[in-house]
Structure 1
Amino acid sequence: MNELQILLAEDNKLNQLMIKKVVEDFGFALDIVETGKEAVEKLAMQHYDLILMDVNMPEMDGYTATKHIRENMGEKSNIPIIVVTSPSDRQEHVKSLLLGANTFISKPINADELLTEIMTLVITKPIFG
């Protein structure tokens, strides 16, 4: 299997470092951007297998970026998106799913939970069809 290419949209440097360590420990490649606008631009130029999307970012938040990707990115509009959000804000969870995210995980990132979500969305193949 080829190395998974993951795009992280996260403006907090500490969160970037923590997520980078977890993702690279799994053996996946990671690019980091700090705004939703940069995520959309980077996705337009490169191939990614998955996006990890923070919701609270400057310039373009994760909600807007997710909605834009789903509505305007053609064949890339189906890329799996995992929203990374605060643990207690259920409204963020629901809103992100309604705007097109596949799932969400809470900060601080739990490595096992992240790997499970990646496996579910990208690595495993459907049994039927």
Structure 2
Amino acid sequence: MEDNTLNQEFISLFLQEGGYTVTAADNGTGALENLEKRSFDAVLMDVQMPGMNGLETTKRIRNSGRAWARIPVIALTANNMAGDREYYLASGMNGYVEKPVNKAQLFGEIERCLTEAHADTAP
């Protein structure tokens, strides 16, 4: 989820080049609507969106009671002060990527979160 169209296109191109399928949403409400419609492996969440921000959207995902309540959520944020990563992880997110986005960091964080998610669901 990313409210800035240019950032959304840039990150989508990165992901598509890496072999990922992308479904975009402009805000938290759109993210929740997308999750209702189909299955996803992970959510990349802009922290500062208008209306329902990334933290509130993540909270609603976690408290939804839906099958997707445990989906990996990765924060995408320009907030990179000491303690920000820990704050977002403590708020229910599984990963953290700083903006401007570095392709290697993004792919590494996605793969780490997906690996952890699969390990959590293994019998």
In structure 2, runs of 5+ residues without a counterpart are: none
Cα distance between partner residues in 1 of 2:83 and 2:6: 24
- Helix, strand or coil for the counterpart of 2:96? strand
TM-score between both structures, scaled by the size of structure 2: 0.87
Q: Report what 2:96 is aligned to.
A: 104
CA contact (8 A) 2:15 2:22 kept: yes
Q: Report what 1:57 is aligned to.
A: 49
Identity of aligned residues (%): 32
Aligned residues between the structures: 120
- Helix, strand or coil for the counterpart of 1:33? coil
Q: CA deviation at 1:90?
A: 4.2
Alignment root-mean-square deviation, CA: 1.9
1:122 aligned to 2:114? yes
Q: CA deviation at 1:91?
A: 5.4
Q: Which has the higher strand share?
A: 1
Match of 1:11 among 3, 21, 30: 3
- Helix, strand or coil for the counterpart of 1:30? coil
Match of 1:35 among 2, 27, 31: 27
